[in-house]
Amino acid sequence: MLRRLNDALDHIEDHLDGHIDVAELARIATTSEYHLRRLFSALAGMPLSEYVRRRRMTVAGAEVLESRRTLLDVAVRYGYTSGEAFARAFRAVHGVGPGEARRTGAALRSQPRMSFRLVIEGSTSMRYRVMEKDAFHLVGRVARVPLVHEGVNPAIAEFIQGIGPDTSLRIHHLSDQEPAGIVSACDGLDPSRAEGTEFDYWHGALTSAEPPEDLDALPVPAGTWAVFESTGPYPAALQEMWRDVFTQWFPSNPYRSRPGPEILRTRPSAVGETTDAVLWIPIERAGSEGA
């Protein structure tokens, strides 16, 4: 998998002065566009689109300083239809406009070319199982919130506090399958998983019954799920588990993520202030159709 990702990175380098098609990158990496964007973001720490923009502006910056082409020629070469659009993109990366950079020889920022390699760290194995699951409804309350990578998410905390114990108990009684009881779920995540991007956060339960009309409901089709388990301090252990799934498990296994809610069930652990967590991720075999 890592070799194919590096082949996709080579393709980006070869087409920085032309059109870069994410569908073609996904074909080279033998995965879906959806999974490629999410996997790249997890491995690289930035969205794929941002990496392409930074690399493009890095090589364009060198041409701006060389002074052999007009600024408009450089802009057109790197896919911009006007000098103004190129100047905005250039300034966003380098902190100065291309004209000022050429006149003053200003120091520019460089995005190094990336490559992925396997690094073995520690000896802890991930506990997981792969399961087939029939169609179900996710029923409860949903809110649109920003993504926070570390620490407590204030928007989620405020949302849950506003639900009320009676509604939570009602949702709990709707649960009729695993993961049992009240669960948290993230749906509609931006493939980049960039900090601050918005997604639908669910406080709900899984049921095969017809959902009540006065509660929010999300129909989830039948499919394959990877189920991961962890124990650790809240919320760090949960956030680390999510990260490790995409940076370690997916590159090492013949699966890729597919659209659908990512479901988390947590319970207090008997050990100190730790939490037992089970994370359900919708997956499909790598190379299968869909997504």
| DSSP per-residue letters across 203-238 | EEEEESSPPPTTSEEEEE-SEEEEEEEEEEETTHHH
The full DSSP string for 66-133 is: H-SS-HHHHHHHTT-SSHHHHHHHHHHHHSS-HHHHHHHT------PPP--------SPPPEEEEEEE
CATH code, residues 127-285: 3.20.80.10
Q: At what angle do helices 2-14 and 33-44 cross, to 10 degrees?
A: 90
pTM for the predicted model, two decimal places: 0.68
Per this entry, what is the length of the chain?
291
Question: Within its chain, how far is the Cα of 65 from the centroid?
Answer: 35
Write down the domain spans for the chain: 2-104, 127-285
Please report the pLDDT score of residue 138 as a whole number: 98
Under 8 Å between Cβ of 266 and 277? yes
Q: At what angle do helices 83-94 and 48-66 cross, to 10 degrees?
A: 110
Distance between CA atoms of residues 249 and 228, nearest Å: 10
Angstrom CA distances, 252 to 38, 70, 104, 219, stand at: 15, 47, 48, 30
> Could you say which of 1.10.10.10, 3.30.565.10, 1.10.10.60, 3.30.930.10 is the CATH number of the domain covering 2-104?
1.10.10.60
Question: Within its chain, how far is the Cα of 8 from the centroid?
Answer: 18
Tokens coding 84: 């103004």
Question: Within its chain, how far is the Cα of 28 from the centroid?
Answer: 20
Q: Which amino acid is at 130?
A: V
Q: What are the backbone angles phi and psi of residue 105, rounded to the nearest 5°?
A: 65, 35
- What is the maximal distance between C-alpha atoms in the chain? 71
pLDDT in tens, the chain (291 residues): 778 889 999 999 999 988 899 999 999 999 999 889 988 888 888 889 889 999 999 999 988 988 788 999 999 999 888 889 999 999 999 999 999 999 888 878 888 888 877 554 544 456 788 899 999 999 999 999 998 877 788 999 999 999 999 999 999 999 999 999 999 999 998 877 778 889 999 999 999 999 999 999 999 999 999 999 888 887 777 778 888 888 778 877 778 999 999 999 988 766 567 888 899 999 998 865 444
